[in-house]
Structure 1
Amino acid sequence: MLCQVFPQQYDQQLADKQQRLLGLVPSMADKLQVFASVPAHFRQRAEFRIWHTPERLFYAMFDPANPKHPVEIVSCPMAAESIDNLMTPLLEAIGQQEILSNGLFEIDFLATLSGEMLVTLIYRKKLDDQAWSSAAQSLREVLPIDHIIGRSRKQKILLDQDFVIERLEADHQAWWFQQIENSFTQPNAKMAQNMLAWAREQSRDINSAGGDLLELYCGNGHFSIALADLYDRVLATEISKTSVKSAQFNLTKNGVENVEVIKMAAEEVSQALQGQTFNRLADIDLSSYQFNTIFVDPPRAGLDDLTRQLSSDFDHILYISCNPETLARDLSILEQTHDVMAAALFDQFPYSHHIESGVLLKRKPT
């Protein structure tokens, strides 16, 4: 579809996703909430190849059915309006300066609901730092761009910073999140707000009596921070050093003091809770936590055997999934010990086969 939207087809496509998800996880049938996306201008991130002809440059994407031939992209109604409106004037301005256009391979956009715009220009050749920076600064002076980054192999030029600050609202509250260029962020920010609201609703229901939360795969603290006030304490883990640093920045930015973020893989957390010692936990007393809920948001591969076993030891499991097939596999095991209490489909990626979902499980009575 290459950036196109089809609003007249959206409801049917969403219904098809719902049917597919319920076919994989029938136990969701009477519990599923469906969160529809806005049908256009829903992506806060966009990446485009730049194609060079003797006469001009143009944005290009490639049809999987014909991957050797570029398709010109004049506009992208999937992208946030701020991105869509910037695309043409930006490329025209770049085309007028050889230092900016020569060797340009790709342009990436990162926008926020709160109004910031970061643009990354990626090149096949090494850049002249001073000359490129001067030319890039001229773009900021005439276009609605807050931050520009120049990249080539083993080179990264910053005019100021490599991140934006997003403001997300849910459940009558708001939080600020640092989103770093070239790192994972939720692309559909309005849907991300629905996900936070749903996770807060489930946490409020299951944790009214108090208790602590263990979160695996916490990223930049997206859920940890939004859920912190609903738990006594939160221990959040993440394997990416960049994401851990960003999560710590976000904790300070939001004034959250009851969340501890550590750099550990999910498998290591499982081992630590079984008594294995790790230097990274030297200052953390795991035995002092009263965990009653685990929150997992794994990659497409889903949970590994050890993490599934760890999850089954908790009274409540909050599971955010980006792959319904691996979710179904994991639930086929977790439902031996837990019941599905609530479920949600978040249409993070309209007009695609991708399904983002959430499930709350509660331990079966003994």
Structure 2
Amino acid sequence: YANEGKSIARINGKVAFIDGAVPGDVVNIKVHKSKKDWMEASVETLVHPSEDRIESFCKHFGFCGGCKWQFLDYPSQLKYKQQSVIDSLERIGKVHPKEILPIIGSTNQKFYRNKLDYSAADRAWVSKEEFNSDTYKPVPALGFHVSGNFTTVLDLEECFLQPAPSNQIRLCVKNFAVKNGLSFYDNWNKKGFLRTLIVRNNRKGEFMVIMVAGEKKDEWMFPLLDELKNNFPQITSLQYIISTKVNDTIFDQEVITYRGENFITEEMEGLQFRISAKSFFQTNPEQAYNLYKVTRDFAQLSGDELVYDLYTGTGSIALFIAKKAREVIGIEQVEDAIIDARLNAQLNGINNTKFFAADMRRVLTPQFFSEHGKPDVIITDPPRGGMHPDVVREIVQCGCPRIIYVSCNPASQARDIQMLSSQYELMKIQPVDMFPHTHHIENVALLELRNQ
């Protein structure tokens, strides 16, 4: 498999990246793009299946943009994910870890997510055959975008990603909207009422629902919210947003609480994490716990250390390790996330953390190190693009004895580790599968300063 989750074949001297194939399949392909040394293709017909191929369990598989590895048995998924981490480190980073720990698989391979965003559309996606048939009649949709197409939405009957009553909430919203003539969003002309449904939950079974409307119509919004309130006692936080802007992000929008609190709370080792509509929290909480435990174990804390937590987000890792450290300093660019981090520290009575809202590239300087102290341990958990080269250089120059690099993208992690390898040795790695049935993989790497 390539990093993007496509199978690799070699045809007439070219490398072919094939969507929808499992290693070991014999397939006929359709070529979509062809260059001098490579091509992109998809499976047209399956001639002979690989022994790793299984039947998908979801009726929407193949059309929906999620869960693209459902046709691959779970042990094989883990095998290919682990190998993709090693391949990235060796091919891109030119490094090989001293120790490779076996990937931690997800106990739950279904209903493992605690957040889903459902998109609405005035016309549901249908196949070409359905569209061209005499019986075709456009119907609205509430579901996910079709694979590779962000203007069309597949109407979902059932989804296996989030626990009940997520499916029932989505169907309730759609049925109420259809029955009462509420308009669904027109993704081409950017108008319409029902736009996005955001559903979040915690492990206690409490749900937060956020309705996003493309126009202000209280006469539609309030009865819809009442319908949810009356049918789902699990909803402890019911909110709404009026968004007339072009893109779907909510971070610059006002969130209005209709019923209940404006947050739900997740618990981990006795710590309470308050999650609001705009908060980031790992979407697979069981595996997030494993990820945080690995990070803490790799840090080897005795209680005397000053720890820097870079790209701290809402401070979940910083707070999780705080009781094992002398002090933890968290840095994050998103100001709302830092507000959440400080609130969560206060909520848990943790007073040995400091959080700074700043651009990492500008704040992580020799002056910052001299003001706040040279770290004994640096934990870094950057976004998919990895760290800016200037940030990597500052880390190298500060001479911190131990670095724990948490990554959701093995390719960018490998690139950064190559830069760090001038002064640091890659001691061990621990892949963690946060997203079963996808090609995505998290990896935790421990680096130690050479010649300490």
What one-letter code is carried by the residue in structure 2 that aligns with 1:115? G
Find the aligned partners of 1:246 and 1:288 in 2 and give their Cα distance: 22
Say yes or no: does 1:165 pair with 2:258.
Answer: no
Aligned-partner Cα distance in 1 for 2:71–2:104: 16
The question of whether the paired residues in 1 share the 8 Å contact of 2:173 and 2:224 is answered with: no
Contact conserved, 2:424 with 2:449, CA < 8 A, in 1?
yes
* Contact map agreement 2:374 2:400 (CA 8 A) in 1: no
Give how far 1:309 is off.
Answer: 1.7
Distance 2:442 2:84 in 1: 12
Deviations 1:150-192 (A, max 9, x none): 2222664321543321112xxxx23211222134221111111
Q: Which whole-Å CA distance do the structure 1 matches of 2:208 and 2:183 have between them?
A: 16
Question: What one-letter code is carried by the residue in structure 2 that aligns with 1:175?
Answer: L
CA displacement at 1:275 relative to structure 2: 2.3
Identity of aligned residues (%): 20
Report the CA distance between 1:133 and its aligned residue: 3.6
1:126 matches 2:216: yes
Bigger radius of gyration, 1 or 2? 2
Q: Which of 65, 76, 81 in structure 1 is aligned with 2:164?
A: 81
CA shift at 1:31, angstroms?
2.3
Q: In the TM superposition, what is the alpha-carbon distance from 1:61 to its structure 2 partner?
A: 2.4
Counterpart for residue 288 of structure 2: 192
Residue correspondence of structure 1 range 89-108 to structure 2 within 5 A = 89-98=172-181, 103-108=193-198
AA aligned to 2:104 is F
**CA distance in 2: counterparts of 1:100 and 1:66, whole angstroms:** 22
Q: Secondary structure in 2 aligned to 1:35?
A: coil
Partners of 1:23 and 1:29 lie apart in 2 by 15
- CA deviation digits over 1:82-116, x for unaligned, max 9? 42343334433454455697721221111111222
* Distance in 1 separating the partners of 2:302 and 2:451: 19
Please show how residues 2-151 of structure 1 align to structure 2 within 5 Å. Answer: 2=64, 3=66, 6=70, 9-26=73-90, 27-28=96-97, 30-37=99-106, 38-52=108-122, 57-65=140-148, 69-98=152-181, 103-128=193-218, 132-133=221-222, 135-143=224-232, 144-151=234-241
Decide whether aligned partners of structure 1 residues 137 and 71 sit closer, same or farther in structure 2, where only a CA change above 3 A counts. Answer: closer
2:374 is the counterpart of 1:275: no
Contact 1:127 1:152 in 2 (8 A): no
Which stretch shows the higher mean deviation, 236-245 or 86-95? 86-95
Q: Secondary structure at the match of 2:235?
A: coil
Amino acid at match of 1:180: S
Q: Normalized against structure 1, the TM-score is what? A: 0.86
Residue-pair matches, total: 349
Alignment match, 2:297 = 201
**AA aligned opposite 1:195:** L
Question: What residue in structure 2 maps to residue 311 of structure 1?
Answer: 395
Paired position in structure 2 for 1:248 = 342
What does residue 433 of structure 2 align with?
347
Are 1:174 and 2:270 matched, yes or no? yes
Structure 2 unaligned spans of 5+? 1-60, 91-95, 124-136, 185-191, 244-252
Q: How does 1:295-310 map to 2 (within 5 A)?
A: 295-310=379-394
Partner residue of 2:318 out of 217, 224, 241:
224
For 1:213 and 1:66, the matched residues in 2 are separated by 43
- For the Cα contact (< 8 Å) 2:176–2:224, is it kept in 1? no
Q: Which has the larger displacement, 142-151 or 217-226?
A: 142-151
CA contact (8 A) 2:303 2:326 kept: no
Which letter does structure 1 place at the counterpart of 2:442? E
Corresponding residue number in structure 1 for 2:44: none
For residue 448 of structure 2, what is the aligned residue in structure 1? Answer: 362
Shift of 1:41: 0.9
Query: Which segments of 5 or more consecutive residues in structure 1 lack a partner in the other structure?
Result: 277-284
Instruction: Tell me how far apart the structure 2 counterparts of residues 209 and 158 of structure 1 sit (CA, whole Å).
Output: 41
Contact 1:106/1:123 (<8 A) preserved: yes
Deviation of residue 12 (structure 1)? 0.9
CA distance in 2, matches of 1:225, 1:69: 40
Alignment correspondent of 1:282: none
Which of 294, 308, 330 is matched with 1:236 structurally?
A: 330
Amino acid corresponding to residue 175 of structure 2 in structure 1: E
Question: Do 1:103 and 1:125's aligned partners in 2 also have CA atoms closer than 8 Å?
Answer: yes
Residue 135 of structure 1 deviates from its aligned partner by: 4.5
More displaced 10-residue stretch of structure 1: 316-325 or 177-186: 177-186
Greater shift, 211-220 or 337-346, is seen at 337-346
- Cα–Cα, structure 1 residues 82 and 337, in superposed 2: closer, same or farther, change >3 Å? farther
Q: Partners of 1:165 and 1:55 in 2: how far apart?
A: 40
1:288-314 deviation line (CA, Å, top 9, x unaligned): 635211111111111112211222221
Q: What CA distance in whole angstroms lies between the structure 2 residues aligned with 1:113 and 1:231? A: 27
Residue 209 and residue 233 in structure 1: after superposition, are their counterparts in 2 closer, same or farther (change >3 A)?
closer
User: Closer, same or farther in 2 for the Cα pair 1:62/1:131, shift >3 Å?
Assistant: closer
Q: Are 2:422 and 1:336 aligned?
A: yes
